[in-house]
């Protein structure tokens, strides 16, 4: 009899918990939808992501096929964005280029989150380590991101993976700092003290109890890192030090387009619009998320 | 103030050391033998060996670092193997256009951004404010080299008002210098302007809601005086930080922007050095830029003390 009651209250408790979770999720979705910036940002990003994935369906041209007779054609019904100085279809180069640009951006965002998270948490928890790690971060942050990236790629050689490595080195300290400062606040809370008193191990406290509270600032920061990675990748490729030709990337198309800027505006305008859309989408999404998740630091929108 | 200055100066040392270590190890990232990579595939083994000897690559790593670092401390950044000139001289030869571009861009951005930020803050929540802020959002999202290409397309190719690329040094007349610099400076300054405008707006909003401003209003001080004398002075502190922090970004941006417009500055030097595999030049250049970035931030921090007495006394 007694056991039965416990089971019932347990079930009741679980049911209530589920309801509350659902309610909270619905509230978050409602707040997200009422945040114009976040919604517009995610629409732009979804659109770009879909066109990148569906590139083979959306265009019948390959980004590499050169047709000498079709050199520098302005936009037409057949070639929506025109053709370049080798007679390649710009529309398909822009679409396949967005695969490269977004993949580089996403890889950098993931890599910097992981490295930044681990470094930031360890620095926040261990005093001695903090001094060493933060001085290294300060040193790395003293380099203008784009210059250090240029130098690293110049030495390693132009290859998409090297671009990702360079950008990760350059941007991880920034993420680490954000995670560290969030973690420092959490570390002083009473519940962490209670956990220590109970004898919880350091790793358990760091990764089970501090980490979840640093996720929001991390995600916000990484959104901006994503945007900057796209900009720097485009700049590197534009300088001829990023994704090697003939692979399409937004920066490469701009690089090819610069030599013929007098006769072929379409080679600058279309990849340019894509870069602006991607960066704008990420910035809007980031600002929107910041409003949603972190009302304290919301200064831009007061 | 003195103790604060000394403390800030000391805190620079580890940062500069890390900068030096990173720059030093850059050359060792090269796949294979750096000397062989620098000389290209056609070099004879004897030449490679000579270069290894010249660069000290045969010494143990820590000795290489000490030798290199003690050179750096006295201004010896090595030799450019392509131009056969000290790196420092090569850098100084090319720094003019880059500095000119960065300073012009900073000037343009301040002139545009601060009034716009103030207006947006005063008309907070109105259509004007929202319009400015949408514009600023767009401004942050257009990379400067891309804006440069777009401006070049509009003013150089379509309207034909300005030369699309090239350079005329300041010594050959201010007007012709500006003609070549104005598009690069605008494209570089736009992002900066957007950042400063946002900072000005939020910092002004903070200040305008404080009691001393309300008191000034209540006493009947003229609106213009309240804004420019009472509010702006305090609002300027966070703006100063942004100015300092972003000046380094501006110099880095200048490097990319000037290659768009074929300005013969540091950017062109770096891009050419990549093609020539002239690693010493790349190393030296980014070392100088990173070090000056650190120094600029130091100056900004010290300037705080001058603008805001609270910093002098609180931060011990």
Please report the ipTM that was assigned to this predicted complex: 0.81
A156: which chain B residues are within 8 Å (Cβ-Cβ)? Answer: 29-31
CA atoms within 13 A on the CB side of B199: 24
Tell me the CA distances in angstroms from B222 to A192, B121, B225, B226, B245, one per residue in order.
53, 17, 5, 6, 34
Query: Does any domain span residue B254?
Result: yes
Query: Does any domain span residue B45?
Result: no
Shortest distance between the Cα of A237 and any Cα of chain B, in A, equals 11
In this prediction, residues B77-94 reach a mean pLDDT of: 83
What confidence category does residue B96 fall into, taking pLDDT thresholds of 50, 70 and 90?
A: confident
Please answer whether residues A72 and A84 qualify as being in contact, where contact means their C-beta atoms are separated by less than 8 angstroms. yes
Say yes or no for a CB contact (<8 Å) between B18 and A302.
Answer: no
Q: How confident is the model at residue A168, as a pLDDT?
A: 92
User: Measured between alpha carbons, how far is A179 from A133 in angstroms, rounded to an integer?
Assistant: 13
End-to-end alpha carbon distance in chain B:
8
Strand intervals (E) in chain B: 79-80, 85-86
Q: How confident is the model at residue A120, as a pLDDT?
A: 92
Query: Does any domain span residue B42?
Result: no
Query: Does any domain span residue B151?
Result: yes
Name the range with the highest mean pLDDT among B88-97, B231-240, B276-285, B302-311.
Answer: B88-97
Helix pair angle (B127-141, A266-293), 10° resolution: 120
Identify which has the larger pLDDT, B145 or B77.
Answer: B145
Q: What dihedral do alpha carbons B85, B87, B88, B93 form, nearest 10°?
A: 70
* DSSP secondary structure letter of residue A92: H
What confidence category does residue A216 fall into, taking pLDDT thresholds of 50, 70 and 90?
A: confident
Q: How confident is the model at residue A105, as a pLDDT?
A: 92
Please answer whether residues A170 and A160 qualify as being in contact, where contact means their C-beta atoms are separated by less than 8 angstroms. no
Say yes or no for a CB contact (<8 Å) between B137 and A280.
Answer: yes
Segments forming the whole domain that contains residue B270: 88-278
At residue A88, φ and ψ (nearest 5 deg) are: -90, 150
In this prediction, residues A270-293 reach a mean pLDDT of: 88
Alpha helices by DSSP H, listed for B74-173, are 87-122, 127-141, 144-151
User: Measured between alpha carbons, how far is A105 from A285 in angstroms, rounded to an integer?
Assistant: 15
CATH (domain of B241): 1.10.3720.10
User: Measured between alpha carbons, how far is B203 from A16 in angstroms, rounded to an integer?
Assistant: 45
| DSSP conformation letters of A28-62 | HHHHHHH-HHHHHHHHHHHHHHHHHHTHHHH-SS-
| pLDDT greater than 90 at residue B82 | no
What confidence category does residue B297 fall into, taking pLDDT thresholds of 50, 70 and 90?
A: confident
Which of A78, A290, A47 lies closest to A178, judged by CA?
Answer: A290
In this prediction, residues B97-105 reach a mean pLDDT of: 88
| pLDDT greater than 90 at residue A109 | yes
User: Measured between alpha carbons, how far is B303 from B316 in angstroms, rounded to an integer?
Assistant: 16
Say yes or no for a CB contact (<8 Å) between B150 and A268.
Answer: yes
* DSSP secondary structure letter of residue B124: T
B150: which chain A residues are within 8 Å (Cβ-Cβ)? Answer: 268-269, 272
Average pLDDT of chain A is: 84
In this prediction, residues A291-302 reach a mean pLDDT of: 56
Least confident of A70-79, A108-117, A122-131, A136-145: A70-79
CA dihedral over A37, A38, A43, A44, signed as positive or negative: positive
Contacts of residue B185, defined as CB under 8 A and 6 or more positions apart, other chains included, come to B101, B104, B105, B108
Q: Three-state DSSP class for B38?
A: helix
Say yes or no for a CB contact (<8 Å) between A143 and B293.
Answer: yes
Query: Which domains are present in chain A?
Result: 38-67+81-188+214-301 (1.10.3720)
Say yes or no for a CB contact (<8 Å) between A275 and B146.
Answer: yes
Say what percent of chain B tops pLDDT 90: 1
CA B315 vs. chain centroid, Å, equals: 27
Helix pair angle (B279-307, B232-260), 10° resolution: 170
A40: which chain B residues are within 8 Å (Cβ-Cβ)? Answer: none
In this prediction, residues B101-130 reach a mean pLDDT of: 87
Say yes or no for a CB contact (<8 Å) between A145 and B252.
Answer: yes
Task: Give the nearest partner residue to A275 out of B138, B143, B274, using CB atoms.
Answer: B143
Q: How confident is the model at residue A296, as a pLDDT?
A: 56
Contacts of residue B17, defined as CB under 8 A and 6 or more positions apart, other chains included, come to A139
Please answer whether residues A41 and A283 qualify as being in contact, where contact means their C-beta atoms are separated by less than 8 angstroms. yes
In this prediction, residues B61-87 reach a mean pLDDT of: 81
In this prediction, residues A22-35 reach a mean pLDDT of: 84
Strand partners, B85: B80
At residue B156, φ and ψ (nearest 5 deg) are: -90, -50
In this prediction, residues B91-101 reach a mean pLDDT of: 87
Tokens found for residue B50: 């000579």
Q: How confident is the model at residue B26, as a pLDDT?
A: 81
Q: How many domains does chain B have?
A: 1
Say yes or no for a CB contact (<8 Å) between A238 and B145.
Answer: yes
Strand partners, B142: none
Q: How confident is the model at residue B192, as a pLDDT?
A: 86
| pLDDT greater than 60 at residue A301 | no
Shortest distance between the Cα of A288 and any Cα of chain B, in A, equals 12
* DSSP secondary structure letter of residue A261: T
Query: Does any domain span residue B19?
Result: no
Please answer whether residues B208 and B231 qualify as being in contact, where contact means their C-beta atoms are separated by less than 8 angstroms. yes
pTM, whole model, 2 decimals?
0.84
In this prediction, residues A23-33 reach a mean pLDDT of: 84
User: Measured between alpha carbons, how far is B70 from B62 in angstroms, rounded to an integer?
Assistant: 12
Least confident of A213-222, B109-118, B169-178, B209-218: B169-178
Q: How confident is the model at residue A176, as a pLDDT?
A: 93
Contacts of residue A195, defined as CB under 8 A and 6 or more positions apart, other chains included, come to A204, A205, A209
Average pLDDT of chain B is: 82
Task: Give the nearest partner residue to B252 out of A146, A284, A299, using CB atoms.
Answer: A146
What confidence category does residue A295 fall into, taking pLDDT thresholds of 50, 70 and 90?
A: low
> Can you count the helices (H) and strands (E) in chain A?
12, 0
Query: Does any domain span residue B191?
Result: yes
Please answer whether residues A100 and A248 qualify as being in contact, where contact means their C-beta atoms are separated by less than 8 angstroms. yes
Note the pLDDT tens digit of each residue in A53-62.
887 877 777 7
Note the pLDDT tens digit of each residue in A147-199.
888 888 888 888 888 889 989 998 999 999 999 988 888 888 888 889 888 98
| pLDDT greater than 60 at residue A250 | yes
Q: Three-state DSSP class for A89?
A: strand
Which of A174, A95, A169 lies closest to A134, judged by CA?
Answer: A174
Query: Does any domain span residue B135?
Result: yes
B17: which chain A residues are within 8 Å (Cβ-Cβ)? Answer: 139
Please answer whether residues B101 and B268 qualify as being in contact, where contact means their C-beta atoms are separated by less than 8 angstroms. no
Task: Name the strand (E) or helix (H) holding B149.
Answer: helix B144-151
Query: Does any domain span residue B68?
Result: no
Shortest distance between the Cα of B16 and any Cα of chain A, in A, equals 7
Shortest distance between the Cα of B271 and any Cα of chain A, in A, equals 7
| pLDDT greater than 70 at residue B2 | yes
Q: Three-state DSSP class for B85?
A: strand
């Amino acid at each position: 009899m007694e056991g039965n009651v416990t089971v019932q209250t347990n079930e009741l408790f679980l049911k209530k918990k589920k309801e509350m979770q659902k309610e909270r999720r619905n509230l978050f979705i409602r707040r997200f939808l009422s945040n114009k910036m976040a919604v517009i940002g995610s629409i732009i990003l979804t659109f770009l992501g879909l066109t990148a994935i569906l590139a083979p369906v959306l265009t019948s041209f390959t980004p590499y096929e050169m047709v000498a007779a079709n050199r520098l054609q302005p936009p037409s019904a057949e070639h929506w964005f025109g053709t370049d100085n080798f007679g390649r279809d710009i529309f398909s180069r822009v679409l396949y280029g967005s695969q490269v640009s977004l993949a580089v951006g996403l890889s950098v965002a993931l890599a910097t989150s992981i490295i930044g998270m681990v470094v930031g948490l360890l620095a926040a928890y261990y005093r001695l380590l903090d001094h060493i790690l933060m001085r290294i971060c300060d040193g790395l942050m003293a380099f203008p991101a784009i210059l250090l990236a240029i130098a690293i790629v110049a030495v390693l050689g132009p290859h998409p993976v090297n671009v990702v490595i360079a950008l990760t080195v350059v941007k991880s300290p920034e993420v680490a700092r954000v995670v560290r400062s969030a973690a420092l606040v959490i570390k002083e809370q009473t519940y962490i003290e209670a956990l220590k008193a109970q004898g919880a191990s350091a790793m358990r406290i760091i990764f089970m109890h501090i980490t979840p509270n640093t996720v929001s600032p991390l995600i916000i920061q990484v959104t901006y890192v994503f945007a900057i990675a796209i900009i720097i990748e485009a700049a590197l490729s534009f300088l001829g030090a990023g994704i090697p030709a003939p692979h399409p990337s937004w920066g490469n198309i701009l690089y090819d387009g610069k030599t013929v800027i007098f006769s072929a505006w379409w080679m600058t305008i279309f990849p340019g619009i894509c870069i602006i859309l991607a960066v704008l989408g990420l910035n809007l999404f980031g600002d929107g998320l910041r409003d949603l998740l972190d009302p304290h630091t919301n200064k831009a929108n007061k | 103030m003195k103790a604060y200055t000394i403390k800030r100066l000391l805190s620079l040392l580890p940062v500069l050391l890390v900068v030096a270590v990173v720059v030093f190890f850059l050359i060792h990232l090269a796949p294979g033998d750096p000397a062989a990579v620098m000389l290209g595939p056609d070099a004879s083994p004897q030449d490679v060996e000579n270069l290894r000897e010249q660069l000290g690559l045969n010494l143990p790593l820590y000795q290489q670092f000490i030798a290199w670092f003690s050179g750096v401390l006295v201004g010896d950044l090595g030799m450019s193997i392509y131009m056969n000139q000290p790196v420092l001289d090569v850098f100084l030869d090319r720094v003019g256009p880059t500095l000119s571009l960065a300073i012009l861009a900073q000037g343009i951005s301040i002139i545009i951004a601060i009034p716009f930020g103030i207006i947006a803050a005063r008309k907070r929540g109105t259509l004007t404010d929202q319009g400015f802020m949408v514009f600023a959002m767009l401004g942050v999202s257009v990379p400067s080299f891309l804006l440069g290409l777009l401006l070049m397309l509009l003013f150089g190719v379509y309207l034909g008002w300005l030369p699309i690329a090239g350079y005329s040094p300041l010594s050959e007349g201010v007007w012709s210098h500006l003609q070549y610099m104005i598009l690069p400076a605008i494209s570089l300054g736009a992002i900066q302007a957007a950042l400063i405008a946002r900072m000005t707006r939020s910092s002004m909003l903070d200040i305008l809601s404080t009691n001393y401003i309300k008191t000034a209003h209540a006493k009947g001080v003229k609106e213009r005086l309240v804004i420019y004398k009472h509010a702006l002075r305090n609002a300027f502190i966070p703006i100063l930080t942004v100015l300092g922090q972003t000046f380094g970004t501006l110099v880095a941006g200048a490097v990319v922007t000037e290659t768009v417009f074929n300005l013969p500055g540091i950017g062109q030097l770096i891009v050419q050095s990549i093609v020539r595999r002239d690693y010493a030049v790349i190393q030296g250049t980014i070392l100088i830029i990173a070090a000056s970035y650190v120094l600029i931030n130091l100056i900004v921090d010290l300037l705080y003390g001058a603008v805001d007495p609270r910093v002098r006394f609180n931060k011990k």
